[in-house]
Amino acid sequence: MIIEALNDVGDVIFPPRCLGCAEILHPQSGQLFCPVCKEKIKFITDNLCPVCGTTFSDSPSASHLCGNCMENKTYFSCARAVVSYETIILNTIHRFKYGNNISVGARLASFMADFSFPDVDFTGYSLIIPVPLHIKRLRQRGFNQSLILARALAKKWQIPVNFSLLKRHKFTLTQTGLNKTERKQNIKGAFEVSDKKKIAGKNVILVDDVYTTGATINECAKILTKAGAQKVTVLTLARVLQSYTH
């Protein structure tokens, strides 16, 4: 009763605000975005490539492989994201990631954990691993955004999260601004597994904040697979959608 009363007082003094426009939200709504901002967010739910999860803007058939997945080897079984990386979500992730706003990150993590991921059976996985930052980048930023997201998923689905099994031992340039080929080359050989015995035979969920070209998560999945992971599924908060038509 006392805790509930304190929470009610806190909602009056510091009412929840929309992550997009900062409009005050109803304390009991449980929403992170106001109706206007939520209308601008594109959730990724259908017409997907069954592997990488990109969408097809104009397809007369059901979900099918995209050209990129037909032409290139992927080391993950499938990748799924909650929303498209644009407008409201792009700005909110930037506030979290580059503005060092942990409270925004915590709310985004809850937003991701509450998404159903309809074609992912969480009971089939025994380990969640966040995409790691190099120690130098971690010291600069002060936190790993992927770990914050991973912990929310781990709590929701009661799956252990381990942030020390996959390590980024090579410091790389930021992927921002690089094209697909440059991203792939930049990230090559950047990761290693610290204990293969804890990976062998496991179905792993790999978590990152944004799927752009897939270079980073595919390199991580490659290292995990070579270490003995049975299956790697990638979950991200957002992804850059390609303009595929059929």
pLDDT score of 13: 54
Alpha-carbon span 195 to 234, nearest angstrom: 20
pLDDT score of 59: 60
Alpha-carbon span 128 to 153, nearest angstrom: 8
DSSP string of 74-104? Answer: -SSSEEEEEEESSHHHHHHHHHHHTTT-HHH
Q: Give the length of the chain.
A: 246
DSSP β-bridge partners for residue 84: 239
CA triplet 106, 108, 109: central angle to 5 degrees?
A: 60
- Domains of the chain (ranges; CATH) run 1-40 (no CATH), 42-245 (3.40.50)
Residues 33, 19: contact at Cβ < 8 Å? yes
Residues 128, 161: contact at Cβ < 8 Å? yes
pLDDT score of 90: 96
pLDDT score of 199: 96
Alpha-carbon span 112 to 105, nearest angstrom: 10
CB 168: neighbour CB atoms within 10 A?
22
What is the full per-residue pLDDT of the chain (246 aa) written as tens digits? 433 333 343 444 578 899 999 999 987 777 899 999 999 999 998 889 999 999 987 665 556 888 889 999 999 999 999 999 999 999 999 999 999 899 999 999 999 999 999 989 999 999 999 999 999 999 999 999 999 999 999 999 999 999 999 999 888 767 766 777 887 788 888 899 999 999 999 999 999 999 999 999 999 999 999 999 999 999 999 999 875 443
CB 195: neighbour CB atoms within 10 A?
11
